Amino acid sequence: MNTKITRINTQIEELQSRLREAETHLEHLAITRKTVTALADRLPAQISAADRPEHPDYPRILTVFNEATRPLRARESPRLEWRLDSM
């Protein structure tokens, strides 16, 4: 019986630790969201063509991001694939 109680107490401590880590992570995400939102508010509504990078893949990258319905990783999008030697 004592070992079972000890095991349960250990599990409780581990879960409390994981909860604290998750709460900290959530706080960091909230700070990041606030920062990104504040930075986005400073951007002009439209970027002139002269201010855009001249790289030929730039429009393709923008299209992928604009059409995204969920968060993206570059490696997940076949439309962003290009050969390194072409850069």
pLDDT in tens, the chain (87 residues): 889 999 999 999 999 999 999 999 999 999 988 888 887 777 666 666 666 677 777 777 777 777 777 776 656 655 555 444 344
Whole-number Å distance between alpha carbons of 70 and 72 = 6
Whole-number Å distance between alpha carbons of 82 and 30 = 34
* Residue 41, amino acid: D
Whole-number Å distance between alpha carbons of 66 and 86 = 24
Environment class of 61 (CB within 10 Å of its CB; exposed 0-12, middle 13-18, buried 19+): middle
The residue assigned the tokens 């439309």 is: 79
Whole-number Å distance between alpha carbons of 75 and 71 = 12
